[in-house]
Every structure is written in structure tokens, then in C-alpha cells.
Structure 1
Amino acid sequence: MSEILVLVDHADGAARKPALELLTLARCLGTPSAVLLGAGDAAASIAAQLGEYGAQKVYSANAGEFGDYLVVPKVDALEQIAQRACPAAILVTSSAEGKEIAARLALRLGSGLITDAVDVEAGENGPVATQSVFAATFTVRSSVTRGTPVITVKPNTTSPEPASAAGTLEEVTVAFSEAATGTTVVSRTARKTSNRPELTEAAIVVSGGRGVGSAESFSVIEALADSLDAAVGASRAAVDAGWYPHSNQVGQTGKTVSPQLYIANGISGAIQHRAGMQTSKTIVAVNKDPEAPIFDLVDFGVIGDLFETLPQLTTEITARKG
């Protein structure tokens, strides 16, 4: 079977969940091979993890350039590995960085690019990607007609499924281009951490909107999220009011999420917000207004006061977990 390259996102000595999802999808297209960049001493342990999820090979490159500069060193590495491996497709996580890497790579390879896929499957003439477009109003199926398909895939499009493979670690030396050092990272500020999952990667997201009413009242949203081991999201109205950080905004001008479960609380369902969460597998809304547009979208809706509904739900979930 043809080789499928998967660019691996990793942190704290482990592959991140979206990378394992890509390996699962890659098995439908051919033989998965992982590309691991800048993992340092953790390369061997990450390679073993990737092998558990189907990676036959793990191309590993370690160099200071991956941390000292922005995306171009990763593009250099991925381009050289792709030219060597001649893969049938290249899969990248659909993050801000991932999409920039994919776009630059496709340009260098003279290949077509598909972004924000929600599914990938084998077709007669190569991979076929499914996308939700125009604020998820339409679903389209696309394929690349020239070169090696480069496809970015949204997190949570599939569940990572173990499939034991060799995970053979293959060290790669990268020749960096002059452009690789054009933009230098001069400082880093650690992001405030919590025990909650990353918003774009979470299987469950609990969001609050204008109906929450204040920053203090977001504690009701956080309590429900914590009971479900979920991430916390916010609508643009809540973010613009200063009730929650912009980094948690879900919507067309915020982050796009596609969790297994999305719970919208006090959110009217304006198109701006819907564009960021409409591909969620199951959508639940709690809103006092029975005419709220969000109810046209949901799988389950509760017409009621979120300050009455959510504490009861949190109590019930906590009791069942206990």
C-alpha cells in the first residue's frame, strides 16, 4: 500500500490526540508514516506511542531551528521527507500553524491543498475529503487533481483507534533553506494552564453566551464543564463583554470546534457562532427564549433558565460519576 505521511503535533513528551486521529484516518488511505519534528530526547517514546496507533515508520528530525524559528523549518523538513518517501497523501492537523505549514508545503510541491476536512476516505483517483463550508451550510467532497494531496483535518473528526505497527524510528537530517531563519522567536510566554482539555481538541465543549450575564456567572458553565471533563467555550458576545478570555471564543472570528458533544448555554445561535461549532456530532442548547435560532440546529434543546438547569445537571452528573 502507498505511504501516507502524518505530521505529528506533540507536547510534553507525547503525541497529541489529533495526531493519533490522523494516523487512524491514514490507515484508510494506505500505510501510515509519522513525521516527528523537534521531539528531542522524547523521540523514541513518542515513536513507540505512534507505533501503537498504526505508524509503520516514524521519520524523526531534531534541530534547534524547529524551536528557534517559526514554521518554515518544519516545511523544509516535511518537503524533504515527502520527496524521499513519495507518499500518496500528506495529512496535517487543521490548526493555525498546521494550515500554514500545509499551504507552504503544497506550493513547494506543486500540489493541491484541501483545508478543514472533517473526513477523509479512499477514492478511485486518490483521497477524497469531506468539508463543511459556508458556515457549515453545505457539505462538499473534494479531491486533489495535481501532485501529492496535502490535507488538513479538523480535530475530533474521528476517534483514535489503536492498531499495533512497527513504529520504526528513522532519523532524518534536514537541510534548512535561507528562508527558515527569516523569522525568529525572540520570547515565549507560558499560557495559563488548567486541568481542562484544549478547546479545539476536546471531546466535549460547554459554552456560555450573553445569557450567562456576567464573568462571575461563568462559574456555572465551568462547574458543568468540569463535571464532564470538558473544555469551556464562549460566544463572541460574552468575550466582547469581558466575561471570558478571547482564547476561548467559539465562532467565525474565534476557534472552530468539532467535539462529540457541544452544550450551548444562553447562546442565541447567530450565524457567527454557528460557523464555529456546527459540525459538532451532538448539540444541546439551554435557552429561555423558545424562538432562539440555536434551537433550529440542536439535537436536544431545553427551554429554561440555565441557572436552574445547569446546577441540576452538574449535580446529577457528579452523582453518577461517584
Structure 2
Amino acid sequence: MILVLVETDAAGAVEVSRESLTFARDLSAAGGGVPIDAVVIGSMTDGLRQQLASYGVRTVHHAGSDDLAAFAGAAWAATVQAAREAAGSVVVMAAGTPRGNEVLAHVAARTGVAMAANVLSFSGLSPFVVTRQVVGGAALEEMRLDQRPAVFTVAGHAVEPSPAPTPGEATVVECRPALTEADLVARVVSTDEPEPDLSGSLKSARVVVGAGRGAGSADGFADILELTELLGASLGVSRVVTSLGWRPHHEQVGQTGSRISPDLYIPCGISGAIQHWAGCATAKNILAINTDPDAPMVTKATHAVIGDLHEVVPAISAEIRRRRG
């Protein structure tokens, strides 16, 4: 049996959790169709139950006690562990978010097994071997998970989220973990609202135009913003751009920013350091614009234009406008 920790927001299961459920179905099919259960901590609505059913979930283990109202990694791990024991799960999964990685690290420590973070795929079940991102996504590693339960998180955008051909029942059962005082020592006590994302939904954008140090200054984004608008794209920037105060942090792509998986990524004047590559490595096509033909982003790109972005980008925009009449 496979158990998936599902993170939620006001709209239901978040995208990366839906990706994890899709990954779980592939794993289930390889294992002969073993059931998939979900753990939900916090609010449980009928809309969420129906959504989980559409992704093939058999049973939803719901924990909604007051002690779990604020996130606490150890307490959430105790909840996942209680659900695992109730269901007899041999696989425990979550999305590779900061929260998912923290909770499953606790689960692995409590059960005395190894944990694989940021898994992209699996090959074979005996032995069970997974391929995962390491070094900020700059390299891939194969890891054998011989112990049970197999505990791992799924890298963001490793698969496309898709409903199951046959819905599950998604029967809701209450999960009441036996929490200790130690489980609640470290927990969230307050949160701040993030800055509004004026560039659109960067994480789900199908086209992203990126800008790095090559923009030159805070006033050097006019051409890039014009191209972004023409393409109906979202704007993403490198860490150096936000560190210099040229653009707000919510536009940052990378290990400490957003992880994107667009159909097309156009990084302009971005060298492609490991930290940035970790955020865009799953882009389906990359068109790099850079003056350095040996820049990591150029060498990894699907296509590249060697030149100054302040000359190349306006030329692209002009051609788009010409073709559109």
C-alpha cells in the first residue's frame, strides 16, 4: 500500500501534491495495482475529498485536531506514521517541498530507514531503485531503497498531474496520532502574507522570460518586459537581480526561489549557476540569450543566441510584432 502526504490550500490539493499522487499511480501500476491512500492534515472539505477521489485515492486519513492547526514537523510526522501503521503502508511519499522534505525526514528517522529526497523516477521494484536530483539539481543520483517502508519525496514537476482513469472511493477516516509534548516544541507561531505576484503565476506559467545580471541595472528591464508581454509570459529573474534590489523576490527562479517547468524558458543574460539551474532544469525548451558562449545556461540550452540581450530581445519583439501585422 502506498501512502501520500497531501498538502492543501484554499483551492484543494496543491499542484505538487497532485503530481505526487500521479507518481504514486505509476508506482502502483508497476506493483500490480496496490491501493493509494492519502494523509490530509487540517481542513477537510467534500470538494477536496472528490478531488482526491479523482486522482485514485482509496482512503483519506484526516487529522484535524487543534494541536495540528499550526505546522509542526514532528507532529505532522507522528500523524503520517500513525496513518502508515493503520494502513500497513510499505511506501510513504510526499511532494519535495520544504514541508514535505521536513516531515518525511522525521518519518524516516522514526522508522529507522533511509529517505530519498527529490525523486524524479523509479526503475524496478526488487530492488526498488529511484533516480533523484542532487547538488541543487546539477546532478542525478541512483539510490536503492531496500528497507521498508520506502520513504521518499517527489521532485516538483517530475510528472504532469493527471486524474486517474478510474476514480477511487476516497473514504475519509479520522486519524488521531498520539502526540507528545516534544512533538510540538518546534512549530509555526505566526505567518506573514507574501508579496503580491504582479508577474502572474510563475510556477505554473507555460512561458517564462528570465533576466539576470546582463540586464545591467534596475532600469534595464524595459525590453525584457516588452517581450514578456508580447508572449503572454511570466517574468523570472536570477538571485543576483533580487539581491541587488532590481526586482522583487517573488520573481526569483532557483533553489531559493520558484521552481518552474514551462514549455519555453528564455533566460536573458543569466549565466546559469547551479542554484538557478535547480529552479529551471525541468523546462521543456530553453532559448538562452547570452554574450558568453561557454556560460552553463548556454551549454545546457535547447537553442542559444550569442549576443547582447539589449540588441537580441528588441529584435525578437520586433519580429513578433511584424508577423502579427
User: What is the aligned partner in structure 1 of residue 98 from structure 2?
Assistant: 96
- 2:181 counterpart of 1:178: yes
1:28/1:121 contact within 8 Å kept? no
Does the CA-based 8 Å contact 1:257-1:280 persist in structure 2? no
**C-alpha displacement of 1:190:** 1.0
Q: Do structure 1's residue 37 and structure 2's residue 41 form an aligned pair?
A: yes
Structure 2 counterpart of 1:83, which letter? E
C-alpha separation between the residues in 1 aligned to 2:302 and 2:59? 41
| Residue 165 (structure 1) aligned with residue 168 (structure 2) | yes
**Which of residues 184, 194, 199 is equivalent to 2:197?**
194
Query: What are the Cα deviations for residues 75-124 of structure 1, in whole angstroms up to 9, with x where unaligned?
Result: 11101001111212111111112111110110011122001112235522
Q: What is the RMSD of the two structures over their aligned residues, measured on CA atoms?
A: 2.9
**Contact 1:218–1:243 (CA<8 Å) still a contact in 2?**
no
The one-character-per-residue Cα deviations of 1:172-228 (angstroms, maximum 9, x if unpaired) are 2232221232134332211123362254x6555432100112334446545555666
- Could you tell me how far apart the structure 2 residues matched to 1:210 and 1:257 are? 19
Equivalent pairs counted in the alignment come to: 314
For residues 202 and 66 of structure 2, the distance between their equivalents in structure 1, rounded to whole angstroms, comes to 26
Q: Supply the distance in 2 between the matched residues of 1:61 and 1:86 (Cα, whole angstroms).
A: 17
Note closer, same or farther for the CA distance 1:293–1:121 as it changes in structure 2 (3 Å cut). Answer: closer
Q: Give the match for residue 261 of structure 2.
A: 259
> For residue 114 of structure 2, what is the aligned residue in structure 1?
112
Greater CA deviation, 172-181 or 18-27? 172-181
- Counterpart of 1:159 in 2: which secondary structure? coil
Say if 2:213 is the partner of 1:210. Answer: yes
* Alignment map for 1:224-235 (pairs within 5 Å): 224-225=227-228, 231-235=234-238
Task: State the Cα distance separating 1:309 from its structure 2 match.
Answer: 4.5
Q: Choose the corresponding residue for 1:85, options 74, 84, 87.
A: 87
Moved more, 177-186 or 73-82: 177-186
Between the aligned partners of 1:151 and 1:287, the Cα distance in structure 2 is 37
Q: What is the TM-score when the length of structure 2 is the normalising length?
A: 0.84
Q: Give the Å deviation of 1:276.
A: 4.1
SS at match of 1:92: strand
Deviations 1:142-163 (A, max 9, x none): 2212221111111111111211
> What SS does structure 2 have at the residue aligned with 1:51?
helix
State the one-letter code of the partner of 2:77.
V
Amino acid across the alignment from 1:46? L
Identity percentage over the alignment?
32
Contact 1:118/1:130, CA 8 A, preserved across alignment: yes
Matched, 1:23 2:21: yes
Instruction: Give the distance between the partners of 1:71 and 1:320, measured in 2 at CA.
Output: 53
Q: Which ranges in structure 1 are unaligned for 5 or more consecutive residues?
A: none
Choose which of 3, 6, 20 in structure 2 pairs with 1:5. 3
Q: Distance in 2 between matches of 1:215 and 1:105?
A: 45
Using the TM superposition, give the Cα deviation of residue 48 of structure 1 relative to its aligned residue in structure 2, in angstroms. Answer: 0.6
Q: What is residue 288 of structure 1 aligned with on the other side?
A: 291
